[in-house]
Amino acid sequence: MSSNLQLNSEGKLKHFLTLEGLSKELLTEILDTAESFAGMSDSQVKKVPLLRGKTIVNLFFENSTRTRTTFELAATRLSADVLSMNIATSATSKGESLLDTIRNLEAMFVDMFVVRHAISGAAHFIAQHTAPHISVINAGDGQHAHPTQAMLDMFTIRQIKQDFSSLRVAIIGDILHSRVARSQIQALNILGAAEVRVIAPKTLLPAHVESLGVTVSHNLTEGLKDIDVIIMLRLQKERMTSALLPSESEYFKCFGLTEDKLKIANPDAIVMHPGPINRGVEIDSKVADGPQSVILKQVSNGIAVRMAIMAMAMQTSAAAPGRSAIVGNN
Amino acid sequence: MSQIHIQNGRIIDPANNIDRIGSVYIADGQIMSVTHEPAGFTPDTIIDAGNQIVCPGFIDLSTRLREPGQSRKATFKSETVAAASAGVTTMCLQPDTVPVIDTAAVAELVKDLAEKTGYQQIYPIAALTRKLEGIELSSMLSLKQAGCIAVGNASQPVQNLLILRRAMEYAASHDLLLIFRPNDYWLGNKGCAHEGAFATRYGLPGIPEAAETIALSHCLELAELTGCRVHFGQISCKRAVIKIHQAKKYGLNVSADVAIHQLHLTENDIQPFDSSYHVLPPLRTETDKNALRQGLASGTLDAICSDHQPHDMDAKLGAFPETEPGISSLETLLPLMLRLVAQQKITLQQGIAALSTNPARILRLNSGALTPGFTADVCVFNPELNWQIDAESWQSQGLNTPFWGQTMTGKVTHTLQAGKLIYRQGE
């Protein structure tokens, strides 16, 4: 159902809510399209007229600087009109106000919603109830999914490693609360990575994490063996107050990525982090700023990947030019 | 008062071990006979139950009619029509109304509403603690005298075990039955789905089985300590079934029920973020479902309840965790029970007993059986009739069922409550 909801009758992307149910071909198409946009970012002319006349509303019910700004830049470079709204969630009857907010904005002839919300399933809900011509992009919902972040991570991995089939990827940290991790795991499995390994204490893993298609380790030293890609997750401070962890220092001792630990992984392993990073909590500064880190590359790739996803989702409603037109602007 | 003759039906009365074609004779609101025509019997109504099943009316141990306080969701009027059409002749109302049924005045208001609706057999369950907060005891004796049939804390856990102990002691002093849904507040962790593959995949806060089994274990210990009669409501997992089996074998005076949807649905059936599947306790695994079915067949679980929770549209309109839990389920009670019979999980006699005989025994009612002198609560149903759940057939104001649009087999044709015909198909 979730996949049907995202695709139109021709199997083209209509909404982008989750990676679940999407094909390897579609994910590869997103990465290829993003590649053509990425080349464009370096050139003098950074804009293409693909979404000229379209109105995109960034609906952020939860704060975010990085994701929101890259979405804004991506939309601007596609020549769309962009409106960003930060909406604090009210404590009561969020469902009703959420729907009312959407209805009100629809009345302003919006073409796309980019939604971030603290509750899992919020983007699905909006996609189900919004007007049929509107596309919905999930910019992170609760602990469920953050598919554009996962795709920009895949893009970064592919830039460096080319092929997924031989890759062993470790995701380290708070998997339980991470929508990024859930989407990364789905993306890596769809793209055919050799192994996706999660490394965390039991308190930071969902109860049935193996059902996501991963192997599990509770020990960073053992878990990093043979790993080609290391993805660190941000550790929220509130995990300490909810008795999931004893202290930041103990966490860093067990699961923090240091230069020594990094040596256990394959020598050409890359280090990723969706940001913002906690230096000295999940990652040592020497690693974060070191030669194997691709953290800033991830940020710049965010724009191209989000441009690709927005352009593809809008192609179903607009007769936008194909990829050749995009490449032609290069 | 009127005399009614139900003839040619297949009479199934588990309490009296009857399963044969015959007649039921009713007069003055009571069962007169199921064996012979009483002398001087002159029926003013004859019901031909040819090719149909005649059994005791159903007794629902957990229902919410949403009045007082939430009539936008449902009303006594709308839900008693649904109940009558589903063969349900007695309902126990959970105390989580607005205001809570924690004073005699609210209990009397509920009885008045029942009276005005013309559906007599509605029994409020009194709140175990004031406002269901788990802090102070409610006035249980006054509530009993105002017509409450049992005490319970609805879906709200009593966090402090000392308070639960005292509440159970006090209930036992007045020979009140405690209807208890085992659910540990802390382990429940404000979850909205079973802590399994579904919750993991969709990033939903999960509720482990241990939230149920630990609360169950606590309550079993306190049942022994206090001597309180306890009925466990809406059991949802295998380990809880095992614990209840052990407790019964050990000799504790406890009973248990399961909500009808738990016998058919699991987390695998949930469509992503479809709020009609949002129910508490949550839909669990295939293993749990099978254990619940076996528990019913073996008698470890005594009864099936509807756990009817009608909702308005807005309550179910939102992202899954933000919607209100509950399924509107009175009208699927019989067909889903019959589905278990068709799948040979239980016998028809067991299914009928779980809906009538056994709840009557738990509540100590003179009904749930076709014994002469008992209240004439009778359900006549066609076990073969197919019908579709749609806006035309559905009676409850709550449209929140995951079975919407499906075809059900088995439909009630007549319902008698205390000898009064409260439902006849097509009228």
* Res A329: pLDDT: 38
- Residues A209-254: pLDDT tens digits? 999 999 999 999 999 999 999 999 999 877 777 889 888 899 999 9
Q: Which of A121, A122, A212 sits opposite B200 (nearest CB)?
A: A212
A289: tokens are 């700023």
Q: Which is catalytic among the residues B13, B60, B288, B307?
A: B307
Distance from B207 to chain A by nearest Cα, in Å? 10
CB A94 to CB B322 under 8 A? yes
Average pLDDT over all residues of chain A: 89
Domain boundaries along the sequence of chain B: 3-53+375-424, 57-363
CATH of B57-363, one of 2.40.30.10, 3.30.230.10, 3.20.20.140, 3.60.21.10: 3.20.20.140
pLDDT tens-digit series, residues A92-123: 445 557 788 888 888 888 999 999 999 999 99
Do the Cβ atoms of A99 and B202 come within 8 Å?
A: no
Where does CATH 3.40.50.1370 sit in chain A?
2-145+301-328, 147-298
Question: Nearest residue of A to residue B320 by CA position?
Answer: A121
SS3 A136: strand
pLDDT of residue A96: 55
Measured CA to CA, the distance from residue B105 to residue B115 in angstroms comes to 15
CATH 2.40.50.140 describes domain A147-298: no
CA A74 to chain CA centroid, nearest Å: 14
pLDDT more than 90, % of chain A: 72
Q: Do residues B211 and B187 make contact, with C-beta atoms less than 8 angstroms apart?
A: yes
pLDDT at position A323: 39
- Going from the C-alpha of A170 to that of each of A88, A223, A228, B42, the distances in angstroms are 34, 8, 8, 83
Domains B3-53+375-424 and B57-363 share a fold: no
Superfamily for domain range B3-53+375-424: Urease, subunit C, domain 1 (2.30.40.10)
How far is Cα B191 from Cα B116, in angstroms, rounded to an integer? 39
- How far is the alpha carbon of A18 from chain B, nearest alpha carbon, in Å? 10
- Structure-token match 């549209």, residue found: B313
Name residues 92-131 of chain A within 8 A of B (Cβ): 93-96, 98-99, 117, 119-122, 124-125, 129
| Interface touch B271/A124, C-beta < 8 Å | no
Strand duo B407-417 + B378-388: pairing: antiparallel
Binary contact (B273, A209; C-beta < 8 A): no
Interface of A with B in 203-262 (CB under 8 A): 206-209, 211-212
A161 burial class (0-12, 13-18, 19+ CB within 10 angstroms)? Answer: middle
- DSSP track, A267-283: TT-EEE--S---BTTTB
Which among B195, B202, B322 has the least Cβ separation from residue A144?
Answer: B202
Residue A74 CB contacts under 8 Å (≥ 6 apart), including other chains: A302, A303, A304, A306, A307, A310
**DSSP-derived secondary structure for B276-314:** GG--SSPP--HHHHHHHHHHHHHTSS-EEE--B----GG
Confidence label for A320 from pLDDT (cuts 50, 70 and 90): very low
Judge residue B42's burial from the number of C-beta atoms within 10 Å of its C-beta, 0-12 exposed, 13-18 middle, 19 or more buried: exposed
Q: Do B321 and A208 touch (CB under 8 A)?
A: no
Q: Is the pLDDT of residue A91 over 50?
A: no
Q: Could you tell me the two tokens for A265?
A: 């992984």
**A271 contacts A257 by C-beta, under 8 angstroms:** yes
CA distance A17 to B113: 47
Q: How far does the CA of residue A184 sit from the closest CA of chain B (Å)?
A: 12
| Interface contacts (A, B; CB < 8 Å) | 87
Give the ipTM of the model, two decimals please: 0.87
CB contact under 8 A, B322 and A144: no
Tokens of A78: 């596609």
Question: What CATH fold (topology level) applies to the domain A2-145+301-328?
Answer: Rossmann fold (3.40.50)
Burial class from Cβ neighbours inside 10 Å (0-12, 13-18, 19+) for residue A301 reads buried
pLDDT band at A325 (very low <50, low <70, confident <90, very high): very low
Spatial CB neighbours of B85, under 8 Å, sequence gap ≥ 6:
B331, B395, B412, B415, B423
Cβ contacts of A207 on chain B, cutoff 8 Å: 195-196, 199-200, 206, 208
Run of H or E including B416? strand B407-417
Report chain A residues whose CB lies below 8 A from the CB of B319. 94-95, 98, 117, 119-122, 124-125, 141-142
To the nearest whole angstrom, how far is the Cα of B128 from the nearest Cα of chain A? 27
Output the tens digit of pLDDT for each of chain B's 427 residues: 689 999 999 999 999 999 999 999 999 999 999 999 999 999 999 999 999 999 999 999 999 999 999 999 999 999 999 999 999 999 999 999 999 999 999 999 999 999 999 999 999 999 999 999 999 999 999 999 999 999 999 999 999 999 999 999 999 999 999 999 999 999 998 999 999 999 999 999 999 999 999 999 999 999 999 999 999 999 999 999 999 999 999 999 999 999 999 999 999 999 999 999 999 999 999 999 999 999 999 999 999 999 999 999 999 998 999 999 999 999 999 999 999 999 999 999 999 999 999 999 999 999 999 999 999 999 999 999 999 999 999 999 999 999 999 999 999 999 999 999 999 998 7
Average pLDDT over residues A33-49: 82
Is residue A322 over pLDDT 70?
A: no
Catalytic-residue membership of B307: yes
Which tokens sit at B150?
């049992």
Q: Which of A2, A144, A208 sits opposite B203 (nearest CB)?
A: A144
Angle in degrees, CA A211, A213, A217, rounded to 5: 90
Q: What percent of chain A has pLDDT over 70?
A: 90
What's the pLDDT at A107?
Answer: 84
